[in-house]
Amino acid sequence: MEYIEKTLSQVLRETAAKQPDHEFLVYADRALRFTYAEFDRRVDELALGLLAIGLKKGDHVGFWATNVPDWNTALFACARAGMVFVTVNTGYKSHELEFLMKQSDLACICIIDGWRDSDYVAMVYDLVPELKTAQRGYLKSEKFPFLKSVIYIGQQKHRGMYSLNEVLLLGKYTDIKQLHDIEATLDRNDVVNMQYTSGTTGFPKGVMLTHRNILNNGLGLGDNMRYTEKDIVCLPVPLFHCFGLVLGMMSIITHGSTAAILEWFDPLLVLATIQKEKCTAVYGVPTMFIAELNHPMFKMFDLTSLRTGIMAGSVCPIEAMRQVIDLMHMSEVTIVYGLTESSPGMTQTRYDDPIEVKVETVGRALPGVEVTIRDPETGEECANGTHGEFCCRGYNTMKGYYKLPEDTAKCIDKKGWLHSGDLGVKDEKGYFRVTGRIKDMIIRGGENVYPKEIEDFLYTMPGVKDVQVVGVASKKYGEEVGAFVILHPAITMTEEDVRDYCRGKISRFKIPKYVFFVESFPLTSSGKIQKYLLREQAVKKVEDLGIGT
């Protein structure tokens, strides 16, 4: 693999010069379109505007918004001005926002009105009451000593906040030499983006990613999907997450392709965008694809332009994968595995892999990335077919956790291996399977039980729509197996039905002692299932039933 040894700003400038009139960003639902040259100019204006309001190279700029049109403008403007773009989860509440703003040393935060039941403006005023009386650009916050400015993304005026349009206007009247001087000092190994881990366990950590990390990950992923400037990629996934920012935007920018972006996920808008823009690729977690396939208007749309895309986040049932390939014409759809700390891609199926590989594995190592399965206790590499921890080493390894050197050292060992915390196996052909999380592994009476193995088995039971397996504390065995089951509509089932289905087919110690029928699983805003909450629910349900273990 030939690496990109440039910054985001350099890649954008070069692509804009090479294909100035080629479309880069499209919002099909509002007929908003930017060519590469138009986008490049807007990035200059915003970068200069950020400097004009007193921000400087090295400052951390938070962005708390859905996939609004200027999301990418802000990302590239920060990259161009040598600032660190800090993505903020759209689902955060006040205490989570406060933690991130303090821990990340934000100098500025850009916000929209809000999302769903969250009022972002009210939350920021609550956390930073000084905003209502401070002169813009001279903010002094008691809680957040680094905070200088708040930028509102929208037309309304809010006391103490700049509007994004004002910042863009200031940029038009600022000497571009100031920006060029900063660009000349930037390095590909500088941190350009900080993303906070989802916090499925413990406090979120700020993952520091460099230009080199994310550009090359996007390059490798896009190469595996055979992207060119002719590809139009539909992105309904959140940009605050690595899925949208790296798997999406970095794959697109490194191949001169076009991004057709949705501000938030809506299956009907996805289908309409694909048809209108003749998209060649679409991204999503399996539940997104299932929602699109099951939409009552699905058959009304022409999806024959589709060829490839990425499905990630969780395992796709084989029947859903067949429908994606057959009904959505995505014969070259790929599966990606990774984590934020690995920028995020470690492995990917290839466009020509058979369907069995795409539902049973997470593919092979990405070019330029070493991926191994290692014994969690000894650190030694495991033989093929043996369970161990996913580890990787290469250009994609994060620079570290922000202000957390001890946590960084726990994650990246002295030989440079990044430890994922995920369990898996590798076969003789180099394909990897994820079998669970180290912390999710259930130890029952000395026997290791891998939740994913049981989940995959229970998926085969007629009537089961989805299932998650967790450990439930037991005085006798240490832990027992608990299964949370979502049934298909109109299906009824008992706990004993599930256990009967297991008997004789899986080992006795793997059969769920507890079966809980639920309608949904607790999710993070990026779609990850929060197993620690399921474990807490299981303990409470067992206590409520009075059937101690």
What are 452-502's pLDDT values in tens digits? 889 988 999 999 999 999 999 888 788 899 999 999 999 999 999 999 999
- Residues facing 364 on adjacent strands: 348
Chain mean position to CA 460: 28
Residue 80 forms part of a structural domain: yes
Residue 437 — very low, low, confident or very high, per pLDDT cuts 50/70/90?
A: confident
- Helical residues (DSSP H) of 184-311, grouped into ranges: 211-224, 242, 251-253, 267-277, 286-293
User: In this predicted structure, what is the pLDDT of residue 501?
Assistant: 95
| 226-230, 249-253, 401-405, 530-534: range with lowest mean pLDDT | 530-534
CB 456 within 8 A of CB 359: no
Token pair belonging to 277: 């823009």
Residue 498 forms part of a structural domain: yes
User: In this predicted structure, what is the pLDDT of residue 200?
Assistant: 42
Half-sphere exposure of 72 (CA within 13 A, CB side): 32
Q: State which of 196, 222, 238 marks the end of a domain.
A: 196
Residue 131 — very low, low, confident or very high, per pLDDT cuts 50/70/90?
A: very high
Rg (CA), the chain: 24
CB 364 within 8 A of CB 431: yes
User: In this predicted structure, what is the pLDDT of residue 398?
Assistant: 98
User: In this predicted structure, what is the pLDDT of residue 439?
Assistant: 76
User: In this predicted structure, what is the pLDDT of residue 276?
Assistant: 98
What is the Cα–Cα distance from 373 to 279, expressed in whole angstroms? Answer: 37
Strands 332-338, 418-426: pairing is: unpaired
Residue 396 carries which DSSP code?
T
Token pair belonging to 225: 């999907």
Contacts of 196 (CB under 8 A, 6+ apart): 86, 87, 88, 89, 100, 104, 204, 205, 206, 207
Residue 385 forms part of a structural domain: no
Range 533-540 average pLDDT: 91
Tell me phi and psi for residue 62, to 5 degrees: -85, 150
Q: State which of 168, 196, 224 marks the end of a domain.
A: 196
Residue 296 forms part of a structural domain: no
Q: How many domains is the chain partitioned into structurally?
A: 2
Q: What percent of the chain has pLDDT over 90?
A: 82
Range 509-535 average pLDDT: 89
- Residues facing 302 on adjacent strands: none
CB 103 within 8 A of CB 109: no
What are 333-361's pLDDT values in tens digits? 999 999 999 999 999 999 999 999 999 99
Range 393-402 average pLDDT: 98
CATH number for the domain harbouring residue 534: 3.30.300.30
Strands 514-517, 345-348: pairing is: unpaired
User: In this predicted structure, what is the pLDDT of residue 547?
Assistant: 61
What is the Cα–Cα distance from 420 to 412, expressed in whole angstroms? Answer: 9
Q: What percent of the chain has pLDDT over 70?
A: 98
What are 293-336's pLDDT values in tens digits? 999 999 999 999 999 999 987 778 888 899 999 999 999 999 99
- Is the preceding peptide bond at 344 cis, omega within 30 degrees of 0? yes
Residue 447 forms part of a structural domain: yes
User: In this predicted structure, what is the pLDDT of residue 207?
Assistant: 97
What is the Cα–Cα distance from 213 to 122, expressed in whole angstroms? Answer: 35
Contacts of 29 (CB under 8 A, 6+ apart): 262, 263, 269, 272, 273
| 115-129, 146-160, 259-273, 520-534: range with lowest mean pLDDT | 520-534
Residue 315 forms part of a structural domain: no
Whole-prediction pTM value? 0.87
Does pLDDT of 203 surpass 90? no
Measure the CA angle with vertex 108, ends 170 and 36; round to 5°. Answer: 55
Mean pLDDT value across the chain: 94
What is the Cα–Cα distance from 55 to 163, expressed in whole angstroms? Answer: 15
| pLDDT higher at 266 or 474 | 266
CATH number for the domain harbouring residue 57: 3.40.50.980
User: In this predicted structure, what is the pLDDT of residue 199?
Assistant: 47
User: In this predicted structure, what is the pLDDT of residue 198?
Assistant: 60
Residue 345 forms part of a structural domain: no
Residue 385 — very low, low, confident or very high, per pLDDT cuts 50/70/90?
A: very high
Residue 386 forms part of a structural domain: no
Nearest to 122 by CA among 135, 130, 110, 113: 113
User: In this predicted structure, what is the pLDDT of residue 115?
Assistant: 93
Domain span at 40 = 8-21+33-196
What is the Cα–Cα distance from 176 to 329, expressed in whole angstroms? Answer: 46
Q: State which of 196, 222, 251 marks the end of a domain.
A: 196
Does pLDDT of 541 surpass 50? yes
Residue 202 — very low, low, confident or very high, per pLDDT cuts 50/70/90?
A: low
User: In this predicted structure, what is the pLDDT of residue 477?
Assistant: 82
